């Protein structure tokens, strides 16, 4: 991994003192990163936002970490009128309208968490999340019981509405962070859902039949070509911390995206894989704020510099009912994934 990118040390100590005799010299303040390897054995809260349905808090996350099932929303409803829990789990946001966000927050620790801060934010469309691209929506504070209390997890409603503008024709980058003021701090890296169990990302854009009334025109070498229901979506690649990144796009099987179970509402039920009807590609890197490059489109690119963006596009048409296209854009350094975004086209 890029040695300049913020990381986390994973220790193995439980914090227990050896032997039966304790003297004053044994009582020292340990380094902040002494216990992450076996943290769950301590009498402390162990707060978690899941990256996937089977996530128990091990970090780094294996696989896409930006498809969290614990960030939910109710489209087109202001929090003042929204219920305490969303009626549907797989909704996507309505542009230009108030949307209510929810977070499913967990405590796997042996101790209760009396002062849990839950922070909701939206992000500029970016593969690598940093503080400069994060915009606060709202904050609330809750309490959770320990893991054996029956009150160890809770769905929390954001008190403020999110009104997305859907830059680039449609995007949804949401970030939720949780921590306990006194006994389970946010930790580091503070924005990295791959390494920090206190952070969850939902970088998912869903286009479903009947939800996009207008087709969008793709350009191939500057020449109008096929129409597509998925608008081109541009993503900032950085911050890169001084090292080049590889950005690629690939098709993925719908069953490889556990989040889609929230959309169907049935555990284990996924759309079938749709047959490709067009190309999927990324534009060559261009400067932030400019339009996508009209040449050198490919499925992967090398990117240098923090001020670069790539644009996703596909020529696939809407698949038949019950089928889907799933596309994942990933950014890596030295073979390690540091960011990504998932686009779903549902029939």
Q: What is the pLDDT of residues 233-281, one digit of tens each?
A: 888 898 888 899 999 999 999 999 999 999 888 899 999 999 999 999 9
Quick check: bond before 60 cis, omega within 30? yes
Q: For the segment 121-148, what is each residue's pLDDT rounded down to a tens digit?
A: 998 778 888 787 889 999 999 999 999 9
Q: For the segment 281-296, what is each residue's pLDDT rounded down to a tens digit?
A: 999 999 987 777 777 8
Average pLDDT, the chain: 85
167: pLDDT strictly greater than 70: no
Instruction: Give the whole-angstrom CA distance, residue 239 versus residue 331.
Output: 11
Give percent of the chain above pLDDT 90: 57
pLDDT at 280: 94
Task: Work out the average pLDDT over 156-174.
Answer: 82
Confidence of residue 26 (pLDDT cuts 50, 70, 90): low
Structure tokens given for 14:
């439980």
218: pLDDT strictly greater than 50: no
pTM to 2 decimal places: 0.86
Task: Work out the average pLDDT over 225-234.
Answer: 68
- Please name the residues in contact with 202: beta carbons below 8 A apart, sequence gap of 6 or more: 66, 67, 68, 71, 172, 173, 174, 175
Task: List helix spans (H) across 24-170.
Answer: none
pLDDT at 210: 64
303: pLDDT strictly greater than 90: yes
Report CA 130 to chain centroid distance, whole Å: 13
pLDDT at 217: 43
Could you tell me if 80 and 148 are in contact, meaning their C-beta atoms sit under 8 angstroms apart?
no
Which fold does the domain 29-203 belong to in CATH? Immunoglobulin-like (2.60.40)
Structure tokens given for 165:
């503008």
Could you tell me if 66 and 128 are in contact, meaning their C-beta atoms sit under 8 angstroms apart?
no
Confidence of residue 20 (pLDDT cuts 50, 70, 90): low
Instruction: Give the whole-angstrom CA distance, residue 347 versus residue 345.
Output: 7
Beta bridge partners of 186: none
Residue that is written with structure tokens 């911050």 in the block: 239
31: pLDDT strictly greater than 60: no
Instruction: Give the whole-angstrom CA distance, residue 172 versus residue 95.
Output: 10
Q: Where are the domains of the chain?
A: 29-203, 216-346
């Amino acid at each position: 991994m890029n040695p300049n990118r913020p990381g986390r040390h994973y220790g193995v100590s439980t914090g227990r003192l050896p032997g039966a005799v304790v003297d004053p010299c044994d009582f020292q303040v340990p380094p902040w990163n002494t216990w992450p390897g076996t943290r769950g054995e301590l009498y402390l809260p162990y707060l978690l936002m899941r990256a996937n349905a089977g996530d128990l808090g091990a970090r780094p996350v294996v696989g896409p970490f930006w498809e969290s099932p614990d960030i939910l929303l109710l489209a087109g409803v202001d929090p003042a009128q929204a219920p305490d829990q969303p009626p549907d789990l797989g909704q996507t946001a309505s542009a230009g309208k108030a949307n209510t966000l929810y977070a499913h927050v967990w405590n796997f620790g042996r101790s209760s968490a009396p002062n849990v801060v839950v922070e909701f934010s939206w992000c500029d469309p970016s593969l690598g999340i940093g503080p400069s691209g994060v915009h606060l929506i709202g904050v609330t504070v809750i309490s959770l019981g320990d893991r054996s209390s029956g009150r160890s997890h809770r769905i929390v409603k954001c008190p403020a509405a999110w009104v997305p503008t859907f830059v680039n024709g449609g995007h949804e980058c949401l970030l939720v962070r949780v921590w306990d003021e006194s006994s389970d701090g946010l930790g580091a890296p503070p924005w990295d859902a791959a390494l920090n169990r206190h952070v969850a990302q939902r970088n998912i854009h869903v286009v479903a039949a009947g939800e996009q009334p207008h087709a969008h025109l793709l350009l191939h070498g500057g020449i109008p070509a096929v129409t597509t229901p998925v608008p081109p979506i541009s993503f900032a690649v950085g911050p890169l911390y001084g090292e080049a990144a590889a950005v690629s796009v690939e098709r993925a099987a719908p069953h490889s995206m556990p989040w889609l179970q929230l959309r169907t509402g049935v555990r284990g039920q996924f759309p079938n894989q749709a047959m490709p009807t067009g190309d999927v590609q990324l534009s060559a890197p261009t400067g932030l704020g400019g339009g996508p490059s009209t040449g050198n489109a490919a499925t992967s690119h090398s990117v240098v510099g923090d001020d670069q963006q790539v644009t996703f596009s596909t020529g696939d048409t809407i698949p038949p009912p019950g089928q889907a296209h799933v596309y994942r854009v990933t950014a890596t350094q030295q073979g390690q994934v540091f960011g990504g975004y998932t686009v779903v086209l549902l029939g």
